[in-house]
Amino acid sequence: MAKKTDEFVCQNCGAAYKRWQGKCDACGEWNTISEESTATERILSAGPGRPPRKGKPFALAPLAGEQKEAPRLPSGNNEFDRVAGGGLVPGSVLLVGGDPGIGKSTLLIQIAGAIAAAGNRSVYITGEESVAQVRLRAERLGLTRLPVELAAETSVEDIIATLSQGKVPRLVVIDSIQTMWTDMVESSPGTVTQVRASAQMLIRFAKRSGAAVILVGHVTKDGQIAGPRVVEHMVDAVLSFEGEGGHHFRILRAVKNRFGPTDEIGVFEMTGGGLSEVANPSALFLSERDLGAPGTAVFAGMEGTRPLLVEIQALVAPTSLGTPRRAVVGWDPSRLAMVLAVLEAHCGVKLGGYDVYLNVAGGLRIQEPAADLAAAAALVSSLAKTPLPADAVHFGEVSLSGAVRPVSHAPARLKEAQKLGFARAVAPDATRGGERDGLSIAPIASLNDLVARIVPDRPAPRREARS
């Protein structure tokens, strides 16, 4: 007999409890635990009274042997392929997560169109919209003439039965995994149990048939809907599609990838005609610069193998609060705290009475420590009300001693700066000798050198003698 058990499952992380509680011990979220009935036994045992199946032995292979690179199917969309690691691997399952309205459906119908245009069977299943709505979007994107097969369906059994007919599809898009449901479990669609069981079945279909499956997953901050968190461990790659609400840039980032690197990003621009690839993101991120305003510095960054120039903006203003504000968008707040502390301790730049705001332009999120020097330059420039030279880029890591450390990929950063017409690079001492045609280097050994460059007539910081 199938044993029916009721359990309480956290809708955020999938942890299960015997009884209800207000806070999930596993992920620390509040109010995310709800009751779900799970009849998992029914899946596990084939039928009443049947003895357990005896295992069959299989052959084991040595580690050495003929290796085969996973064959890939390029989608034709360069930015997407870069993030996916060179194209879709047959039989692989990708999860594309992102906030609602960010453009996931738009991106995936475009990818489905591109795969179909190359003569491959490509299927797009939506559980969120009607076929008419998807057609309307496709019309707007100019994709209607492409042979993408379309359906509005949410039953996983029906979907797999349909896909198993005819030629094996090369790509199946499921938009979204939260709307799918299977008869195998009794919970309602959108619950962790349903999402997990549906994903499991689709993954098994992908592995068996060799079709590449892309699952769309919504992420909600409060964890009310079953997040794709539980699915993340099951799929081959997790891509996150992000962007700041008011900006038209969208960034596709690999969070996990069994078949490729995780540090590459794809940059898209949301236009009236859908998402267009941005082949030269630096030019886009720098296109609306506040030239000549104090508090802005251009950072020569790297995203994966690609250099990316972006503007870092700082505002340092006298505070009216007891505890001054420190607000950061697009960068790590603890790195800002560190740069502020180093400026104060080693350069005598007193910021205790000031509010500090730091923003990375264009909605980009920077993770590199190499941005320290650019952030420090923007901060000092804002405090001193002295604009930085418009033709300079900055990069370098600041250590707690105030020294400026070399960073990786310096030649690529310098090349990108030169390509975009910058005349100088404010960079770590070790970069000396990396000059290029039209690009000079201002070597910086310590943060003190940087402050002295921006405010030359400032008295040297007094070293407080302690007794």
Region binding ligand TYD by CB under 6 A among candidate stretches 5-13, 95-103, 407-415, 440-448 = 95-103
User: Interface with ligand TYD includes 28 (CB under 6 A)?
Assistant: no
Tell me the closest approach of the beta carbon of residue 134 to ligand TYD, in angstroms: 10
326 is an interface residue for ligand TYD by CB under 6 A: no
Q: Which is nearer to ligand TYD, 121 or 218 (CB)?
A: 218
- Please state, in angstroms and rounded to a whole number, the distance separating the CA atoms of residues 379 and 314: 5
Nearest to 427 by CA among 349, 370, 346, 387: 370
For the purposes of burial, counting CB atoms within 10 Å of the CB of 104, is it exposed (0-12), middle (13-18) or buried (19 or more)?
buried
Among 11, 75, 105, 296, binds Mg ion (CB under 5 A): 105
| 221 annotated as a binding-site residue | no
Nearest to 41 by CA among 80, 78, 2, 14: 2
Binding track, positions 141-170, relative to ligand TYD; x by CB under 6 A: x-----------------------------
* Residue 448 sits in the site that holds ligand TYD (CB under 6 A): no
Smallest separation, CB 218 to Mg ion (Å): 8
**b/e code 218-253 from CB counts within 10 Å (16+ = b):** bbeeebebbbbbbbbeebbbbbbbbbbeeebbbbbb
Contact 439, 329 (CB under 8 A): no
CB of 87 to ligand TYD, least distance (A): 22
Is the distance from CB of 282 to CB of 273 less than 8 angstroms? no
Query: Could you say which of 3, 4, 140, 432 contacts ligand TYD (CB under 6 A)?
Result: 140
Residue 47 binds ligand TYD (CB under 6 A)? no
Tell me how far apart the alpha carbons of residues 53 and 75 are, in angstroms, rounded to a whole number. Answer: 42
Q: Are 130 and 136 in contact (CB under 8 A)?
A: no
100 binds, among ligand TYD, Mg ion, none (CB under 5 to 8 A by kind): ligand TYD
* Nearest-angstrom CA–CA distance, 115 and 147: 9
Q: Residue 103 binds what, of Mg ion, ligand TYD, none (CB under 5 to 8 Å, by partner type)?
A: ligand TYD
272 touches ligand TYD by CB under 6 A: yes
List C-alpha distances in Å: 209 to 148, 168, 170: 19, 7, 9
Contact mark string toward ligand TYD, 99..138, x via CB under 6 A: -xxxxxxx------------------------------x-
**270 binds ligand TYD, rule: CB under 6 A:** yes
Helices (H), 118-221: 131-141, 156-163, 192-209
**Residue 222 C-beta: closest distance to ligand TYD, Å:** 17
Using CB distances below 5 to 8 A depending on partner kind, what does residue 385 bind out of ligand TYD, Mg ion, none?
A: none
The dihedral over CA atoms of 170, 265, 308, 268, expressed in degrees to the nearest 10, equals 60
Please check if 437 is assigned to a binding site. no
Report the candidate in 385, 411, 364 with the shortest Cα–Cα distance to residue 425.
411
Q: Could you tell me the smallest distance in angstroms from the CB atom of residue 174 to Mg ion?
A: 11
Q: Using CA of residue 135, residue 139, residue 140, residue 146, what is the dihedral sign?
A: positive
Residue ranges for the known binding site for ATP are 98-105
Contact residues for ligand TYD, defined by CB under 6 A: 98, 100-106, 137, 140-141, 270, 272-274
Residue ranges for the known binding site are 98-105
